[in-house]
Structure 1
Amino acid sequence: MQPADIRQIFQEQPAPFPGHNAYSPTTGAELSSSEKAQRTASLQQVLFALQQYWISGSANIDIAAEILADNSRDASWRIPIGESGLLDYFLGILSVDGLRQSLKVNTLRLIGNSCADEAPDDNRARVVAGNHLGRIVFMLGDDSVLAYVIPVLYNICVDYEPAQLHASTAHLSRALISIVFGPRLVQCRAFLGIVGKIFALLLSQELELSMADPATPAYLLQLVSNPETLLDTEEFCVLVSVSLAYLAHESFQEALIRQNGVQALLTAFADSYTKYDVAHLDPDDAADFKALGNRFMHVISDVVALPLFETQYPLNSIVVQMLQSWVSNVYANANLKAAGCLALGNLARSDASSIYFVRDVKIHTPLIQLLSQPYASLLFSPEATADTASPSSQLIYSVLSFLKNLAIPTVNKPILGTLLDPPANVLPRMWTSTDTQPAVQFAAVSLTRLLIVNCPANVRRICSPLSSDPASPAHDRSNLQVLISLFKRTDAENTKMEAARAIAAVCRVLHTSSDAADVLPDDWEPSDDDFLRSASISSGVSSPEPPAHHSDAATAASADGHDTPSTTEPMSPNSSALLRRARFYSAHPDMSDCFTYLITQTRFPVLRSETWFVSAVLSRSYDGARLVMRALQPFEAWRALFEAVSGRDLVEGHLLPGGASMLDSELSSAAGEAGAHGLVPPVSQKDSLLDTVGAAAAETPLSTASSIDVDGPSLEPQQVDPAQLASMARIDRENGLVLVSEIMKGYANFLPPFRRGIFEQLLQTGGALVMSARSEADTGATST
C-alpha cells in the first residue's frame, strides 16, 4: 500500500451526514456499527503498511503519518484510529530516539487530534494505560516540537482525571514552570493561555499540591506582573486564577513570601483593575475575571496574616508602603483600598504595630476622612444588586475592620474617638443608616465598643448631649441613646450583643475611672429644678419600679416606713459628678435593658460573667444599684442571678453544670451551722415556687433583713479571666453575692417579699459555698 492509497481511504468514505465536510465534527459515537467496523478494518490495513515502511526504513512513513494526522482532525475517524491500533503504534514510535522532525511532528499531531474528543475517553485511556505521558512530558525539553507538545498534553488531560493524576506524577507542572519562567517562553508564547489551562487541570487533583514546585505561584505572578510580557485579558485571567488557586494553601503562601513574590501579587491585583478591560470578553469569562477581585483579597489578607510575613517584610518595607498607598490615596480604586485595609488590619494585630500605624503613619486620617464622606454615596453604587454587596459597602466594612484593630491599644482610643464627635457623628450615623447592611452595622457597633472600653475620653464623647442649648430637646439626648435605640430594634444577635456590651462598658467607666468626675460633661449638671429630684435619688425616697405582678407587695414594703437605703456614697468632693451621673442615668432609663439581655443570654458565658462583675461594681452606688435592680426585674434575669450564686436551677432545683459541688446534705449542714434557712425546696412549677416562697417571706417580719449578715464573706467584685474558665463559676458566685449584699443593704425593704426571701437565702447558702470553696483551695495549696 502506497501513501496515495492511504489518502484514497479517507476520500472514499462518505460523510456520515449530508453536508459534513472532510473534517466533520461528527464523533465516532455517531457512526453506525457497520461504518465504524469498516473504517477500523481499513485502518488496520494502513497499520500493516506502516509497519512495513518502518522495517524497510522507507520515508513513506513520514508521508503516511502526515495524511493520518490531517484526517485525525475529523472527529468521526478518532475512535477507528484508536480501535485499529494506529494510536498505540504511533505512541510507541514516540519513544524512539532520533526520529526525523517531520515524523515526530506528525506523530504528535495524530496523538493530539485523536485525544481531542470530549467523549468517549478511550484514546486518552490508551495513552495512560501505555504509560506514555511521561515521554510526552519529557519532550517539552525539545524546542523544535514545543508548540505541538503543549496542545497534545492539554487534549490528553482535559476532562480526564486519570491523565491529570498521571501528569502530576510525571511533574508536568514543574516542566511547564521551567519554560514559562525563563528564556524559553518565547518558544511557546502563543500557547501561554493553554499552559494556564493545563495548570488548572492539574490543580483539580489533590496530588498536585505535593508534586508542584512550591514557588509556582510566585513565578506565575512575576510573569503576569512583568510589563514586558504583554498578556491579553484572557491570558491574565487564566494565569492569575491558577496562581490564586495554589495560594489558597498555606505552604504556597509561605513559599511566595520566601521568594519575595508578595510585591508581584500586589502588582497583579492592581493591574486587574487598572490595566485590563473585560468589555470584549464573553459574559462567562467576564464574570470569572470580576470574581478574581475577591479571591485576590482573601489571598492577600491570608499572606499578610502569616507570622513569616512580618519577618520578611518589616513595617517600613516597600510592600507595606504599597498597601498604605492604596489606603491613603484618595484616587485609588475602591477595591485596592478595601484590600489594603484588610491586609494592614491583619498586620495591626499587636499593640506595637497598631500604635505605629496611628502614631507614625497616621493611617487613621484618610480612613476617618473616607467614612466622613456623604454616607449614601459610599454605601450604594450602580453595581449593587439585591443579593450582592456593592464594592462601596465592602470598602466601608474593610475600613471599619482595620479601625477595630487600631482601636485596641489604649493610647490609640482617644485619637480614633473623633469618630464619635459631633457634628460629623460618623459612627452614630452609621448605626442608624446601615439596617440593610448588617455586616457594616455590626462592624460600626463593634468599633464603638472597642473605642469605649477603658477610655473615659470616648465615654465622655458618646455621653455628651446632642445639643449644648439647654432649651433644645436634644440637650437631654446623647449618642448613647441612639445606640440603645439600635439595641432595642435590631434582630441581628451579634449587633445586639455588641451594642449591649458597649453600653455596659460605658457604665463600667462611669463607676471605675480614676477621673470619673471628668467623664460626664457639665451639661448633665442638674439645674435648680432638677435638684430635688437628684436629692431624692441620693436619699432613697424614690424606690425602683417593681414588676407588675409584685406591685402590691412592693407598696406594702414601702408603707412600712423602711424607705431609706443603708447604702452610702460620699457626696464630697465628687458630689457634683455623682449628681451628673444620676441625672444622666435618669435620662437613659433603657440602659438596664442591655444588662438584662447580657445576664439572660446563655450563648457566651464569659460575657455573662463580665456583666455580673460590672453589675457588682454598679451596685455599690445609688444610681448604679437602681439601674441593676431594674435589670433584675424580669424573672429570667434574677433567676440567672440565683443560679449563678447557688449553682442550682431556680425552678427545678437540680445542680447546674459547673455549679456548686456541694451535695444537698452538705449544703443544708453548712447553712444550718450559719443559722440560716435551707435552700428553697425544688418544685416542678414556677408558680408553685412563687406561692410557697412568697408566703414564707410574708410571714417574716420586715425587720428581719436588718438582722441578717448582708456582708457575708469579705468579697470584692472580681474580673473574669476568659482563659480561666474553670474559675468562672466561683467568680460569678462571688460577684453575685456582692450584688445581692449591696441590694439587701440599701433596698431590702423595696423588694417584693418573695425576692427578698430568696436574696436572704442566697446570702446564707451562697456565703457557705464561698467559704467552703476557699477552705478547699487553702487545703489544696497547703497539701501541695
Structure 2
Amino acid sequence: MASTDSISMAIAAGTEAARQPSVPAATFDLPAVQHVLSELPESSSSLSDRGTETLSLEEQEKMFRALKNVIEGADAEAGNAFDLKELHASLEQADADARRGRRDSESLQSVLKVINQLWASDSEFLAQAAEILANGSRDLSWRGPIGQSGILKFFLEVISSKKDLDVKLLLHSLRLVGNSCADTNENRQIVVEGSYTLPIIRHFLNPELVHVAIPVIYNICMDYEPAHAQMAENRTAYIILKLLKDGAIKDNGALLSFSYDLVELASEQEKGIENSPDGTVWLLTQLALEETEFEHFSSLVNSLSAYLEKERFQNACISNDMVEDVLSVLRRSFSIDIDESSKEEVSGLAQIKLKINQALAEVSASSLFAEHYPLDSAIAHTLKSWIVAEEDQLQICACVMLGNLARSDEVCQVMVRDLKIHEELISVLKNGSRGAVLHSALGFLKNLAIAGDNRVSLAEAGIIPAVSRLWAFESVPQVQFSAATIARQVTISSMDNISRLLAPLSEDPDSPAHKRTYLSLLLSLFEKTDSAPIKTEIGRTVASICRTVSPKAREGDEEAKSLLEKLYTLHEGVARPVGAMITQTQWPVVRSEGWFALALMANNQSGCIAVVDCLHNEEVAMLLKKTPSGESSASDVSNDSNEPNTTQVAKDRDNAFVLVQELLKNEAGALPMSHRQAIEDLAKNSALRQLKPAQNA
C-alpha cells in the first residue's frame, strides 16, 4: 500500500485527470450515422413514377395558380382565368368555398388532384405548391383538412421517396408536415401509422435539410406518446448526438434546443435506450463537458442518468474507463452558469446534481466497478479527497462510491488501517454538515464498522462522541437511525467500546453530566422518537451490551461487573428499548433477541428491577403472559423470517420461560404481589423443565 505522501500526490493527479474529457476507447461502439440508419427498415414511397403525364408549362402554371387561390384566397380575377375543362368546376367550387371561409377536406380534394398531377408531370411548380401549402398549414384551421384530404400523406410519401428530388421540394414538404402536425394529434397519428418518422430522420444527414427535419420530428413527438416512442426506437438520440459531436448540426440556438430536447425525450423510452449503441453514454458525457448552456446541459445529464440506470451502459461506462468523465460531469455542474434569480433553474441544477450522483451510485454498485477501480486507483484517491470537499454533492458522491467499494472485511480494513478514511468521515460528522451529507457519511461508516478489526479504530478516532451529537438530529430521522446503528455496531463483542459508550459525559465529578453517559443520550432519543426502527435499533444496542457483558460478569470478570453496574444504576429505563424489540412484528429474529436479552438482564438483581420497569408496558406484559405457554400464535411472527414460524415461536417460548424463572428468582420485592402471583402461575403452567436461553443462530 502506498505511503501517505504518495497518496496525496495521487489525489492531486486524479482530480486533475477527472476534469479532462477523454477520447473514446478503441473498444467503444461509435458507429457512423449512415451505418445506424442502414440497420433500420428501409422506407418506400407509394407515389407513381414522375414523368408519366405531360402538361404544358401554361397548364402547370394555371394549376398552380388555382391551388394557390384555394389556400391563400386569391382574387376572383385569378379564378376566372381557369380554362382546363377537367379542373375548372372543382377548383372553382373550392375557390368559392375558400372565399367564404370554408376550410374542410372536401375543399382540398381538388388541391390533392393538382399536386398529384404536378408530381406525375415532374413539374417544378410542385415545390412552389408545397411551399404554399406549408405556409397555409401554419393556420390551425387548415391542419385538420390537410390531413383528412390526403395532402399530408402525399407529402409524407414525397419525403419517403428514394428519388433524387429537388431540395426545395423536400424542404417545403418537411415544413408542411411539421406545421400540420403541430398540436394536431390526428395528423401525428397519420405519421406514426405510416412509420414516417424514420424517413424524416434520414434527412438529418442532409446539411440543407437538417435544420428543418429536426424541428419537424420535434413537432410530431411533443405531447404525443406514440410518435415519441417511434422516434426513440429509431435511434434518434444516438443519431443526433453523433451529428452534434461531428459538427454536422451547427451552432444554432433554436436548433440545438430542439436537438437536445429530442435526445432527452428519447431517453425516457425503454426501447430508445435499448436500441442505442454503447457509445451513446460517451457522446452524452463529452457533449455535457463541452456544453455552456444550462438548458442543454440539463437535457444531456438527464439523458445520461437514464442510460446509466441500465446495467449494459453501466458496464460500458466502467469497461471503457469512463467513470472519471462522469465524475467530471458532476464537477462541471458546479461551474455551469445559471440564472440565480430563476427558481426553476436553481431547482433544476439541484436535481441534476442528484441525478448524476444517483447514476454514479448505480455504477459503483456494480461488481465490475471494484475490479476496474481498486483502492489504489486514481479515481479512488480523487473520491477520498472529495470526502472533505466544500460541495455537499461531491461529499455525498465520495461517500456513496467508496462505500460501495467497502464490501469486504479486507477492503474495509485497508480503508481504515492504511488510508485512515474513517478519520475524515468522523470529521464530517463533527463539522455541522447538512443532513444528506451526514446520511451518506454514516452509511459509509456503517460499512466500515462491519469489519470487526475496525471497531476499535473507529472508537479510538472518536466515533461515539461524534454520532452522539446526531442522536438529537431530529430534522432527518434517517440520520438518527444510522447514528444509532453505528453505536450498536461498534459495541458488538467489544468491552473497550462498551466502556466508551458508558463513559461519563463530563470528567468533572461535580458536574451533573458526570452521572450521564453516551448511552444516556441514546436512551433519551428512545423516549423522544416516534420511529419504531430507531426504537428497535436502540434496543438492539442494549441487548448487544448484555450479550457481551453479562456472561463475563457471571464468570467473575471485574471489568464486566463494573460495566453491568453502570448499565443498571446510571440508566433508568434501560430495559424499555428491549421491550420495543419484543413488541415490534417486522423482524421475528429481533423479537427473539429481545426475549433473550431480558432473560440475561433478569439474571442480575439490578437488571431484574430494570426488567420489571419494562413490564409496566402493557403490551410487553401481555406478550409475556402468552409466550412462555406457547399461546402466541404463528401469526405474531412475520413470514419474512429465514426460519420456519414454529422454530421462531419455540425460541421465543424458551427464552420467555427462562425470563419468568429469573424474575421469580431475582425480583427481590420489585414486583407487586399480584404481579408476582400471576408470574408464578405462569411458570407453573408453562413448562415442566428448566430451560436455558436459546440463542439465535
TM (normalized to structure 1)? 0.69
1:135 corresponds in structure 2 to: 199
Deviation at 1:349, TM superposition (A): 3.1
Q: Retained in 2: the 8 A contact 1:601–1:608?
A: yes
Name the SS for the 2:572 alignment partner.
Answer: coil
The 3 A distance-change label for structure 1 pair 370 and 61 is same
Residue number in structure 2 paired with 1:232: 293
Could you say which residue in structure 1 is the equivalent of 2:525?
486
For 2:342 and 2:151, the matched residues in 1 are separated by 39
Inter-partner Cα distance in structure 1 for 2:107 and 2:605: 105
Q: What residue number does 2:128 align with?
A: 63
Structure 1 residue identity aligned to 2:546: C
Which ranges in structure 1 are unaligned for 5 or more consecutive residues?
A: 15-31, 379-391, 517-568, 650-654, 660-720, 775-784
Could you tell me whether the CA contact under 8 Å between 1:358 and 1:406 is conserved in 2? yes
**Which residue is equivalent to 2:352?**
292
Structure with the larger RCO, 1 or 2 (CA within 8 Å, 6+ apart): 2
1:238 Cα deviation after fit: 1.1
Which of 647, 650, 654 is equivalent to 1:727?
Answer: 647
1:740 equivalent to 2:666? Answer: no
For 1:600 and 1:162, locate their aligned partners in 2 and report how far apart those are by CA, in whole Å: 52
Partner of 1:81: 146
Asked if structure 2 preserves the Cα contact closer than 8 Å seen for 1:452 and 1:459, the reply is: yes
> Where does 1:205-220 land on structure 2 (aligned, <5 Å)?
205-213=269-277, 215-220=279-284
Alignment correspondent of 1:111: 177
Are 1:193 and 1:238, in contact at CA under 8 Å, matched by a contact in 2?
Answer: no
Quote the residue 2:305 is aligned against: 244
Q: Which digits, 9 at most, give the CA deviation of each residue in 1:370-414, with x for residues without a partner?
A: 2222x3xx4xxxxxxxxxxxxx22212222222222222122222
**Structure-1 residue corresponding to 2:504:** 465
Which residue is 2:228 aligned to?
A: 164
Kept in 2, the 8 Å contact 1:328–1:363? The answer is no
> Where does residue 430 of structure 1 map in the other structure?
470
Change (3 A) 1:478 1:38: closer
Structure 2 equivalent of residue 261 of structure 1 = 322
Q: Is it true that 1:644 corresponds to 2:627 in the alignment?
A: yes
Q: Which amino acid aligns with 2:231?
A: A
Query: Using a 3 Å threshold, how does the CA distance of structure 1 residues 257 and 768 change in structure 2: closer, same or farther?
Result: farther
Q: 1:595 aligns with which of 578, 581, 584?
A: 578
**In 2, distance between residues paired with 1:344 and 1:66?**
60
Confirm or deny: 8 A CA contact 1:748 1:756 kept in the other structure: no
CA distance in 1, matches of 2:194, 2:562: 92
Q: Deviations over 1:72-102 (max 9, x none)?
A: 4444443343344332222222232211222
Q: Distance in 1 between matches of 2:178 and 2:231?
A: 15
Aligned to 2:185: 121
Q: Distance in 2 between matches of 1:147 and 1:83?
A: 27
Distance (whole Å) between structure 2 residues aligned to residue 580 and residue 132 of structure 1: 79
**2:395 matches 1:337:** yes
Gaps of 5+ in 2: 1-59, 76-96
How far apart are the structure 1 equivalents of 2:364 and 2:548? 35
**2:481 touches 2:534 (CA, 8 Å); kept in 1?**
yes
What residue identity is the alignment partner of 2:262?
Answer: I
- 1:251 positional shift: 4.5
**Distance in 1 between residues matched to 2:669 and 2:309, nearest whole Å:** 65
d(CA) in 2 for partners of 1:459, 1:56: 96
Code of the aligned partner of 1:361: L
CA shift at 1:255, angstroms?
Answer: 4.1
User: Which 4+ runs in 1 deviate beyond 6 A?
Assistant: 187-190
| Map of 1:556 onto structure 2 | none
Amino acid paired to 1:606:
V
SS at match of 1:460: helix
User: Aligned pair in 2 of structure 1 residues 58, 491: CA closer, same or farther (>3 Å)?
Assistant: closer
The answer on whether the counterparts of 2:284 and 2:300 sit within 8 Å (CA) in structure 1 is yes
- 1:346 corresponds in structure 2 to 404
**Alignment of structure 1 residues 304-703 onto 2, 5 Å:** 304-329=364-389, 332-373=390-431, 375=432, 378=433, 392-418=434-460, 425-432=465-472, 434-512=473-551, 574=557, 578=561, 581-582=564-565, 585-632=568-615, 634-648=617-631, 657=635
The offset of 1:610, in angstroms, is: 0.8
Q: Structure 1 residue 52 and structure 2 residue 99: aligned?
A: no
More deviation in 232-241 or 182-191? Answer: 182-191
Once residues 87 and 658 of structure 1 are traced to their aligned partners in structure 2, the CA distance between those partners, rounded to angstroms, is 67
The CA deviation at 1:749 is 7.5
Code of the aligned partner of 2:175: R
For 1:588-608, what per-residue CA distance to the aligned partner results, in whole angstroms no more than 9, with x for missing partners? 232132233333333432222
2:457 maps to a residue whose letter is: I
User: Distance between the aligned counterparts of 2:103 and 2:666, measured in 1?
Assistant: 106
Query: For residues 288 and 350 of structure 2, what CA distance do their matches in structure 1 show?
Result: 17
- C-alpha displacement of 1:34: 8.3
Q: Distance in 2 between matches of 1:7 and 1:182?
A: 41
Bigger Cα Rg: 1
Tell me if structure 2 keeps the 8 A contact 1:196–1:242: no
Two-structure CA RMSD over aligned residues (Å)? 3.5
- Which residue of the partner structure matches residue 697 of structure 1? none
Supply the distance in 2 between the matched residues of 1:747 and 1:463 (Cα, whole angstroms).
24
Other-structure match for 2:240: 176
Which residue in the other structure is 1:718 paired with? none
Question: Counterparts of 1:215 and 1:431 in 2: how far apart (Å)?
Answer: 47
- 2-structure distance, mates of 1:421, 1:66: 74
After superposition, give the CA deviation of every residue in 1:714-734 in whole Å (9 maximum; x if it has no partner).
xxxxxxx96676532233333
Same amino acid, percent of matched pairs: 32
Measure how far apart 1:281 and its partner are. Answer: 8.3
| d(CA) in 1 for partners of 2:563, 2:491 | 19
Q: In 2, Cα distance between the equivalents of 1:365 and 1:160?
A: 54
Letter in 2 for 1:367: L
Does the 8 A contact of 1:143 with 1:187 survive in 2? no
Structure 2 distance, partners of 1:457, 1:35, is 96
Question: Match of 2:453, SS?
Answer: helix
Q: Is the contact between residue 488 and residue 538 of structure 2 (CA under 8 Å) also seen in structure 1? A: yes
| Partner residue in 1 for 2:49 | none
Contact kept? 1:420, 1:462, Cα under 8 Å: no
Please state how far the C-alpha of 1:420 moved relative to its aligned partner.
5.1
CA distance, structure 1, for counterparts of residue 415 and residue 100 of structure 2: 76
Query: How far is 1:747 from its partner?
Result: 4.7
Distance in 2 separating the partners of 1:317 and 1:218: 21
